[in-house]
Amino acid sequence: MISIKEVKTKSDLKAFVKFPFKLYEGSKYWVPPIIREELKTFDKKENPVFNDAEARLFLAYKDNRIVGRVAAIINSLEVDKQGIKKMRFGWFDFIDDLEVSQALLNTVEDIGKANNLEFCEGPVGFSNLDKVGVVTEGFEALAPMVTWYNHPYYVKHYEAAHYKVEKSYSESRFPFANVKPEFFLKAQDLIKKRYQLKALKFTKTSEVMPYADKMFDLFNKSYANLSSFVAITDIQKEYFKKKFISFINPEYIKFVVDKNDELIGFAIVMPSFGSALQKIKGRLFPFGFRHILHAKKHSKEAIFYLIGIHPEYQNKGVHAVIFNEYYNTFTEKGIKTCIRTPELEDNFAIHQIWKHFDPEVFRRRKTFRKDL
């Protein structure tokens, strides 16, 4: 007998956050979240996304033990302002028992129907800066900090519940040795002169912060045409700055500005924290910070998290300026491998940017949809 219980207390929330630690115990590829940060994600006082969204969290029980979880999310910016009547769901984990997954999905679908929504889609988060997609190929690779990982059996549970593929994503990697400066060295000089651009370099996080709001504004502009995009609000900017920027080596943040010092291009690369997070088992204290700081400074893997170009400068080669900056930094740091986080497979523009580096797709993931 499966019972579904809504998360109402702090102890319930801790159980919700910690459930995957048991589910993936012993996995070589699952990367645990930082428990403290995961709790903040669902704290209405901490996460400003709740100004425009609501989330209800549920735990599934069988024989008095937790066997699954799910977050049911309604983003009012998407539903009311964009007119997309979507019931989102994420943080969807479960044992290999179809009764468990179906009971959790039924709960999400009932909420969607009660709110007159037209379809469910998941796994997704609150916004485009959250994790997305269930892994469908490439299970034997360490998951980056900014993605979900799952057991191979998850896919059959979506199919059994009559969910269909909605969006497809790929993750790729290439050796840094594949990066040949002749592809962008001359081009970036010409582009900077033609459009009066310059690249900004940073060595301290404090140097980045004056440009952070402009970066999020540019993120909204450059990603607006992608499917399922929900813009980042002004109040969310402060939250994401606190959540992400402290984890990024400022030398791995590259901005391109025009003659008026207006931001027209940016890229954010993160060191690989996967192995460090596995070592600390979700806890920064008492010694977790040491592993995180070591990875931040010494990881030989660079994970491309975000790259955005102002619409007026797209297809004008601005990415060559960014790649030139990274080539110099990565050479100095001894980077061995470059990894790209999930990108929509129909985002042909971004795939064109990387084609010269001969990337290898090592993992695919999808979101699934069901009409209500």
Q: Are 47 and 162 in a shared domain?
A: yes
- What's the confidence (pLDDT) of residue 350? 76
- What's the confidence (pLDDT) of residue 306? 86
Q: Are 262 and 218 in a shared domain?
A: yes
Q: Are 254 and 283 in a shared domain?
A: yes
Of the chain, the percentage scoring pLDDT greater than 90 comes to 66
Residue 113 corresponds to which amino acid?
A: K
For 333-336, the CB contacts below 8 A with 24+ separation are 333/251, 333/300, 334/300, 335/176, 335/300, 335/301, 335/302, 336/175, 336/176, 336/300, 336/301
- How many whole angstroms separate alpha carbon 175 and alpha carbon 177? 5
Q: Are 239 and 166 in a shared domain?
A: no
Q: Residue 299's Cα: distance from chain center in Å? A: 19
The residue segments making up the domain with residue 283 are: 175-363
Q: Which of 145, 171, 197 is the last residue of a domain?
A: 171
Q: Are 182 and 125 in a shared domain?
A: no
- What's the confidence (pLDDT) of residue 228? 63
- What's the confidence (pLDDT) of residue 227? 62
The reply to whether 371 falls in a domain is: no
Q: Which of 108, 142, 171 is the last residue of a domain?
A: 171
Nearest CA-CA partner of 263 in 230, 311, 224: 311
Question: How far lies 78's CA from each of 131, 160, 217, in Å?
Answer: 17, 28, 18
HSE toward the beta carbon, residue 92, CA cutoff 13 A: 30
**Residue 199 three-state SS:** strand
The reply to whether 345 falls in a domain is: yes
- How many whole angstroms separate alpha carbon 327 and alpha carbon 336? 12
Q: pLDDT digit string (tens) for 49-91?
A: 899 999 999 999 999 999 999 999 999 989 998 899 999 999 9
> Rounded to the nearest 5 degrees, what angle is found at the Cα of 174, between the Cα atoms of 171 and 177?
165
Q: Mean pLDDT for each consecutive 10-residue tract of the chain (372 residues)?
A: 96 98 96 94 91 95 96 94 94 98 98 97 89 96 91 98 96 93 88 94 88 87 74 79 77 93 92 90 83 88 90 90 94 94 83 84 97 96
Q: Are 114 and 160 in a shared domain?
A: yes
Q: How many domains does the chain have?
A: 2
Domain with residue 6: its CATH number is 3.40.630.30
Q: Are 160 and 241 in a shared domain?
A: no
Q: Are 313 and 342 in a shared domain?
A: yes
Q: Are 45 and 157 in a shared domain?
A: yes
- How many whole angstroms separate alpha carbon 222 and alpha carbon 272? 25
Average pLDDT, the chain: 91
Q: Are 18 and 110 in a shared domain?
A: yes
Q: Are 252 and 275 in a shared domain?
A: yes
